Amino acid sequence: MARTRNIKPGFFQNEELGVLDIKARVLFAGMWCWADREGRLEDRPLRLKAQILPFDDCNPDELLDSLTKQKEPFVIRYQASGTKYIQINKFRSHQNCHFKEQPSTIPAPEMPVHTPCKNGASTVHAPGMPGASNNLGDDEPRLLLTANCLPLTANCSIESASADSSSTPSVEGNRQVHKRKREKPSIYTEHFSEWWAEYPKRVEKPDAAKEYQLAIRLICKDNEIPEAQTRQDAHAYLLEKTKQFAASDKGSGAKQFILSPERWLKKECYKDDQAAWRNDDKSDPGDGIAKAFAELDKEFAK
């Protein structure tokens, strides 16, 4: 399936490409659209001509060969498992493939082992370069790659190379991703836990923890509370006020009539005078409700 690819201005200014036949240049650019995300495609000259140069009279096999004879060949023609393929060199460096594009199913070309000389030069040519042999003997050393793109040498098996690679960081595209979990700090601090144990009604703990931290900051900034200028002092002040509220009439009454800790902090009830926490009527609030229902029953009975 043909795909949309990028073409850069440098394509038209490349001198090694510029000396080739115009049809070879068009064929080269056209192959990008038919290659997979790794720049590989089947080496089928007649089919490529029908796809890219359907109206031109040319020999596609000769055009492909002309792209392999440069100092740095534009393409590599190779064979794997009895099938001929083409590898476009530096394809990933110039193309940004769509992230949904399917991975390549074509095997990569086998790269020969480079034996360095004393001056650091290599004695083995890359495939497609001048001087390279197209028919390497069985004793010709080759560099094979494992599934994890690690070199496979004579002293290393595929299984051992794959096992050694299990400790390497995961890779997405060309970028290494080091996965590390960050532990979020707990909202239930030691000071909050101490205050939470003193409040007479313990419900909605997450909301209460957030409101507690906000209350501590407000107390530190409140000029009306001069004795609480630090977080430690603010905690001690709030803890003492909570103990007083828990011992008061409103704090020690029926649980359903006590404010939730989140609302108690939000309304800044800790600033209230102790007299506001005292009930003049010592009777149970539920008694008044029961009396009201009794009177309604009498009215309906009439």
The residue ranking higher by pLDDT, 150 or 255, is: 255
Instruction: Output the pLDDT for position 208.
Output: 84
User: Mind listing the pLDDT tens digit for each residue in 230-239?
Assistant: 888 888 888 8
Strand ranges (DSSP E) for the chain? Answer: 40-42, 75-80, 83-88, 111-112, 142-145, 151-152, 170-172, 175-177
Amino acid code (one letter) for 260: S
Assess whether pLDDT exceeds 90 at residue 252: no
36 in helix, strand or coil?
Answer: coil
Assess whether pLDDT exceeds 80 at residue 112: no
Q: Which two tokens stand for residue 247?
A: 């011992």
Instruction: Output the pLDDT for position 128.
Output: 46
Instruction: Output the pLDDT for position 143.
Output: 47
Categorize the per-residue pLDDT at 1 as very low, low, confident or very high, splitting at 50, 70 and 90: confident
The residue ranking higher by pLDDT, 220 or 154, is: 220
Instruction: Output the pLDDT for position 75.
Output: 94
Residue 137 CA, chain-centre distance (Å), reads: 46
Question: Percent of the chain at pLDDT above 90?
Answer: 26
Strand ranges (DSSP E) for 160-217? Answer: 170-172, 175-177
Q: Give 24's contacts (C-beta < 8 A, 6+ positions apart).
A: 63, 66, 67
Residue 18 CA, chain-centre distance (Å), reads: 42
Instruction: Output the pLDDT for position 256.
Output: 74
Instruction: Output the pLDDT for position 63.
Output: 94
The residue ranking higher by pLDDT, 142 or 292, is: 292
User: Mind listing the pLDDT tens digit for each residue in 8-47?
Assistant: 899 999 999 999 999 999 999 999 999 999 999 999 999 9
Inter-CA distances, 163 with 156, 157, 160, 174, 176, Å: 11, 10, 5, 21, 19
Measured between its terminal Cα atoms, the distance across the chain in Å is 90
pTM, to two decimals: 0.39
Assess whether pLDDT exceeds 60 at residue 300: yes
User: Mind listing the pLDDT tens digit for each residue in 153-191?
Assistant: 445 444 454 444 444 454 444 555 555 666 666 778 888
Q: Which two tokens stand for residue 276?
A: 């506001």
CATH code linked to domain 1-93 = 1.10.10
| Three-point CA angle 82, 83, 85, nearest 5° | 140
Kind of pairing between the strands at 111-112 and 83-88: unpaired
- Domain residue spans of the chain: 1-93, 190-286
CB–CB of 266/210 below 8 Å?
A: no
